[in-house]
Chain A
């Protein structure tokens, strides 16, 4: 009614209301993000900060700070042949497993995508190993497929071609255990990446292939000049996922080569996580374990960021 007189309060009121609404938004935001913010804070940020400090301590059998020794733990690690060998091991493993997994999963995806009937059936079969844990796979590989006995599956198959039985997991020259290690991870993971490639393949517009057909492209040319470029983003994501997963390899090495009494002492190969497990849990040396954790974390972050520089992973949206 008295519009002129009431004018000042009217301009204040929406402001007030908006501010009150903001507080409600902030409250809701805090409630909804609270668990994750606190959980990640505790198990990532606090954990890594604490561990970083611990890495400058002599922390044998203790996780409390107080015995500062500077960079001794880092010096110990970088001077320990076993640690350096573990880095070389994982580098070699990565160089082998990444291209094999990449090509195999892309190949399976293209194969399945190109058949009409039974697509879902074959997809299920190739995916189902992803339900199996590394422990169970290692069990089957160690105790049946590559057990080194004449009745072991690998030796039976080899026998068909006239090969002598091979002690797959204990033979170190040549290091044939890599066959077991690589095939195990390939079997478990290839289905997952195949799914990613299948999603990528189905997103390619059929009109591109129709245009290619009009130009008389061969199947190989269509794959090389249409499919591969169109799968660029998927390929990058898959490569990064395979790479980071390979870097964290632990389960199969522990279970293929570990023995109850001596732990992993007799293992012919140890990746960095097995080395860290032995120092932290075996020797209870949390200082060295923390230093190693920190070195590996930095290594993985650097790899991720380097990859990001080249392909734009993790860039701001």
Chain B
């Protein structure tokens, strides 16, 4: 009895394990190459792990004067750490009003938001560049951040969330004499933690990994994000390969850590984002 299920399940575990190794292969390669010397990395012979490990590549990464890696990482951090909470807050505010405050014209505002959902951000990078450029946002951190603070998608997901929000909480607040804004700030917002964490995590990931918009608006090295710095490094004429892989590791480390620590929120955020109907 105990043997049969195990043998029936075994092929599935073998398959899942083989696939896992394939999925992890790029991470292993990144780590291996980041710890090689330049000779080892361009050697025609395969090696599993260099001996000794060349930790010096991480120092070289930040010492390379042509690519301001440290400042770029700081810019990425700044962009993500502003975009995620502010964008989530704006989405929550609008989503709550659209779900719970019945005023004339609410339908129109909802449609106004919904229409922009169909127009993907990246396709309109030229129009957005025209507007942000005319406002003086070229080569600035706020120019990178501003257009991404307003996500129709986040608004719609929060609206769906607040449509199912228990009305008793709001009624209790009204009885205590709170106005609409008071109810939102003191009762609704503090009870939206899981949704805020989920969508905030997704926004953080998205802005940390964003490439096209920061590339368009931040042309000067002083406004590069880590992705732009890495890309410049990658497409440069002469490449210090081990340092490049070290840079890749440094850049993905915060998000991989986040995926491991806050996976519950990320998974529920992704699941919610597939159900936008």
Interface residues of A (CB under 8 A from B): 22, 24-29, 31-33, 35-37, 39-40, 42-48, 50-51, 54, 63, 108, 111-112, 114-116, 118, 122-145, 149-151, 153, 156, 187, 192, 195-196, 198-199, 233-234, 237-238, 241, 244, 247-248, 250-251, 254-255, 258-261, 273, 276-277, 280-281, 286, 289-290, 292-293, 296-297, 300-301, 304-305, 312-315
Contacts and interface: CB of A to CB of B under 8 A. Distances in A.
A300 B29 CA distance: 37
Interface size class on chain B is 35 or more
B140 to A, nearest CB: 15
Of residues A124, A144, A290, A315, which shows the largest number of chain B Cβ atoms within 10 Å of its Cβ?
A144
Nearest to B227: A135
B94 A255 contact: no
Nearest to A159: B46
Nearest to B27: A128
A300 B123 CA distance: 9
A47 B128 contact: yes
B45 interface: yes
Given A29-B97, A135-B211, 13 more contacts: A24-B179, A36-B113, A111-B19, A112-B16, A115-B16, A139-B245, A143-B234, A250-B212, A260-B237, A276-B125, A300-B120, A301-B119, A313-B277
B13 A115 contact: yes
Contact of A25 (B23, B102, B117, B259): B102
A220 to B, nearest CB: 16
Contacts of B131: 42-43, 46-47, 50
B161 to A, nearest CB: 14
A13 to B, nearest CB: 19
Contacts of B93: 31-33, 35-36
Contacts of B150: 35-36, 39-40, 43-44
A260 B236 contact: yes
B130 A28 contact: no
Contacts of B271: 195-196, 198-199
A22 B104 CA distance: 9
A133 B249 CA distance: 11
Contacts of B12: 111, 114-115
Given A32-B184, A124-B260, A111 B15 contact: yes
A62 to B, nearest CB: 10
Interface string B139-177: 000000011011010010000000000000000000000
A131 B206 CA distance: 9
A28 B188 CA distance: 14
Given A32-B101, A42-B131, A237-B276, A136 B248 contact: yes
Contacts of B91: 36
B15 to A, nearest CB: 7
A43 B99 CA distance: 24
Contacts of B270: 192, 195-196
Contacts of A312: 277
Contact of B19 (A39, A108, A198): A108
A276 B108 CA distance: 33
A46 B23 CA distance: 43
A31 B103 CA distance: 13
Contact of B230 (A27, A44, A139, A241): A139
17 contacts: A25-B103, A26-B104, A32-B101, A50-B131, A112-B16, A124-B259, A125-B20, A125-B23, A128-B27, A133-B251, A133-B252, A136-B251, A143-B245, A195-B270, A195-B271, A199-B274, A254-B215
Nearest to A296: B123
Contacts of A150: 44
Given A131-B255, A133-B252, A33 B209 contact: no
Contacts of A254: 211, 215, 231
B123 A28 contact: no
Contacts of A133: 208-209, 211, 227, 251-252
Interface string B117-141: 1111011111111111110000000
A47 B130 contact: yes
B82 interface: no
A284 B236 CA distance: 22
A151 B120 contact: no
B129 to A, nearest CB: 7
Contacts of B27: 128
Given A33-B97, A37-B109, A195-B267, A151 B127 contact: no
Contacts of A126: 19-20, 23
